[in-house]
Chains A and B, each alone.
Chain A
């Protein structure tokens, strides 16, 4: 795959005229999907997909176009040439772009992660028997993912990885659920079976009758998967510098009004795990580690080169949308064993669901509790709760109401598959809140 990308790149760059600059972005995957419902196979299949995007700059104007690659190298080179001609016709019609980001050659990279995956013929048989006797719904995705970037100044980046994930819910007869994800790059059948057995044991907790909690303020522990859902919101009108500059960010209060979060809260972008490429669509490489919020203070926002040029600031090579690509929330001191005791009486929330800004500028987020969520009394789990709606500002729950952060940072793999398989995931601990607002 890398050779094909290099071959097409060389051919297309050779076609450029004087004054033309071109950046190529390559994305491809070979994936097996198996969808489960009631621990049986609902749908199954394979997807081969590959695309190439050309971004042309000419005379301070820019436009881009992507197309699906067929795998036939000659046909794909012809298609790329045809797209380049289309872009040449279009680019001269466009207004001048004062914030255009010119390509540079700051060195190339090659990052290859090989794995050991189930065969596409053997996956159904390896996965399904361990689900026997329970009601499971979920999705297995497995295969190779490729990303490439090259520009006409000679810079080239390549990233490939082989990964799998089985993301699933186990469901009791009275419709209470636990959630789990078995993911990695090297399949181990006995580890999988042990993981599934442990999940099934967790389901036992859910078999108690659920109790209804009234709206109000509660001492609450949110486990790592729930914290991940909250941190995801920071990539949407959150830590983007452009979003702050344009008056649409929930972090504007930290910039403009000196609002602070708890000293216990620190969030970084940390690429050191290697699960996502450090290069962005422009081929710019992000630093290994970037402090975003440090001890409750906004230290850095995510700044791409376009934003940097527009607002005359320094880029940290963020991605196009200035989302957090490799989030890592720092651990605190609360041990897992102490969590229930520290809650005392209140809520243990395993997962959250369907979050949205209810007042973005104010930092207020609404969403639902879901899956393993319990009522706790005197340090002991009493029963699962009926799902409740929350509506609270992170300036409260990551601010003065953040009492402690757990000492274990967990990796929550990104299992999203909109258009293509996502990469990476979120490292974060759980959080203990002195108060969390439930509304419905």
Chain B
């Protein structure tokens, strides 16, 4: 589709017009208990026409991409802007949509379509079989989601962007039963920008055998102890910790109050940037859209702002917020290129994209060997946090007791709770690069109208002290 030609044929007068075309195909395959559970695909394709008039943006997202359809959409988007401009929250100029040109493409080895539907089913079937390590496994499933996205953006102030993404999210799950005890262990349903090289039969069957064994192990494990103790989190639990208690709290549109009717506000105020000691001085957090294979890497956000790596928290000090150009203008606060939409039919808002905790200096053994009594936790299972991003309670699938500097027995139903800044100020050790893991989820919800979007979180293993830890019912 020639977006520039479409743009040139729009015959309305406006302060600015942008066309954002998104075509996304998601193909999912699920095997459960040795049988195909689902083989499906969905393609969503449309254009959001955005018009700036009287300082107000109005949009019309349309599935009719003919010239007359786009012309109609532009006229109605302008009318929306004008009718709303009498009540605008903020009067914007073209500065909110900077000119940008360029391209981006995900890094991958095997393209979408290079592995057939039949082959993927066969590999997932092998994974499912490998999960069934014993008769105690009562249900096993293997899941793969391949997402191909193409994003094109042109505007009357000269933007011309093309970005192509290839992403794979996979998961493997085993539920074990012994009498009335059930335990479920999964691979964490993590996604990456990567190709179909993910569907490697040998890697998947090895991974699945381990998941199955741990599910059975959990059946006979003791409950996680209750008390205040040291806690060590693996990268696939740190992912959730970063997401909920750093990422959402620092989104500038939340701080400005846009999200108060849905996900909530934030305990952060604009004056905290540059002054608040968010965590211990071991804490270094970056917004980094440049990490190869991380799920939310890109070159430009959906408003056309060029994306680059920035420190958000440096040596524990809060230095920068997660706000795109509109939020930066409204708040006069430094931000990042994170003005993003879930698709063509939703308007961009501030999203966290890749938000990573940088590696420190401790090896895994250094961390464990210095703990007298504590719990090590892997893979998020439960998550809940308040509307100010303060009081949280999170749970993991798999725990191991640490006693006198050694990992000892497995414990089940590990949970912990805390309050955000005291928790991060209890960050005692940060793992080195050898403990680092890159994870991501396609399922971050936010915004009104609601939007689900991809985010990436990379982290080393981390130790926290004085944490309230507890087990199940």
Which one, A49, A169, A362, contacts B473 given CB within 8 A?
Answer: A362
The smallest C-beta distance from A410 to any residue of chain B, in angstroms, reads: 19
Which of chain B's residues has its CB closest to A245's CB? B139
Chain A residues within an 8 Å CB radius of B62: 48
The smallest C-beta distance from B182 to any residue of chain A, in angstroms, reads: 4
Say which one of A66-74, A144-152, A271-279, A375-383 lies at the interface with B. Answer: A66-74
Would you call B57 and A43 a contact (CB within 8 A)? yes
The smallest C-beta distance from A44 to any residue of chain B, in angstroms, reads: 4
Q: Does A408 contact B (CB under 8 A)?
A: no
The smallest C-beta distance from A146 to any residue of chain B, in angstroms, reads: 13
Q: Does A17 contact B (CB under 8 A)?
A: no
Chain A residues within an 8 Å CB radius of B257: 37-38, 135, 137, 171
Chain A residues within an 8 Å CB radius of B451: 418
The smallest C-beta distance from B302 to any residue of chain A, in angstroms, reads: 13
Cα separation A205 to B150 with both chains bound (whole Å): 50
The smallest C-beta distance from A24 to any residue of chain B, in angstroms, reads: 14
Would you call A68 and B46 a contact (CB within 8 A)? yes
Chain A residues within an 8 Å CB radius of B176: 247
Would you call B448 and A417 a contact (CB within 8 A)? yes
Cα separation A417 to B449 with both chains bound (whole Å): 6
Would you call A439 and B138 a contact (CB within 8 A)? no
The smallest C-beta distance from A228 to any residue of chain B, in angstroms, reads: 15
Would you call B84 and A93 a contact (CB within 8 A)? no
Which of chain B's residues has its CB closest to A257's CB? B180
The smallest C-beta distance from B34 to any residue of chain A, in angstroms, reads: 9
Would you call B42 and A65 a contact (CB within 8 A)? yes
Q: Bin the interface of chain A by size.
A: 35 or more
Q: Does B427 contact A (CB under 8 A)?
A: no
Which of chain A's residues has its CB closest to B393's CB? A366
Would you call A37 and B87 a contact (CB within 8 A)? no
Chain A residues within an 8 Å CB radius of B125: 95
Q: Does B205 contact A (CB under 8 A)?
A: no
Say which one of A102-110, A262-270, A330-338, A348-356 lies at the interface with B. Answer: A348-356
Would you call A124 and B86 a contact (CB within 8 A)? yes
Cα separation A106 to B49 with both chains bound (whole Å): 43
Residues 442-473 of B, flagged 1 when their CB comes within 8 A of A and 0 if not, give 00010011111000000000000000000011
Residues 316-346 of B, flagged 1 when their CB comes within 8 A of A and 0 if not, give 0000000000000000000000000011011
Q: Knowing that A43-B59, A45-B347 touch, tell me 14 more A-B residue pairs with CB under 8 angstroms.
A: A35-B258, A37-B256, A44-B59, A46-B60, A64-B41, A65-B41, A94-B121, A95-B121, A247-B177, A355-B384, A358-B395, A359-B395, A388-B391, A418-B451
Q: Which residues of B contact A (CB under 8 A)?
A: 35-36, 39-46, 48, 50, 56-66, 69, 73, 76-77, 79-81, 83-84, 86-90, 116-118, 121, 125, 138-139, 175-177, 180, 182, 184, 256-262, 264-265, 342-343, 345-347, 382-388, 391, 393, 395, 413, 415, 417, 419, 445, 448-452, 472-473
Q: Which residues of A contact B (CB under 8 A)?
A: 32-35, 37-38, 40-51, 53, 61-72, 90, 93-95, 97-99, 120-125, 128, 135, 137-139, 141, 167-169, 171, 175, 177, 179, 246-248, 252-253, 256-257, 353-359, 361-364, 366-368, 370, 387-389, 391, 393, 416-419, 421, 439-440
3 smallest beta-carbon distances between A and B, as pairs: A362-B473, A93-B118, A45-B59
Query: 25 A-B contacts, Cβ less than 8 Å apart?
Result: A33-B448, A37-B89, A37-B257, A41-B89, A46-B76, A47-B345, A49-B345, A51-B44, A61-B36, A62-B36, A63-B117, A64-B41, A66-B41, A68-B63, A70-B64, A93-B117, A97-B35, A123-B83, A124-B84, A247-B138, A353-B387, A354-B385, A368-B385, A368-B386, A387-B388
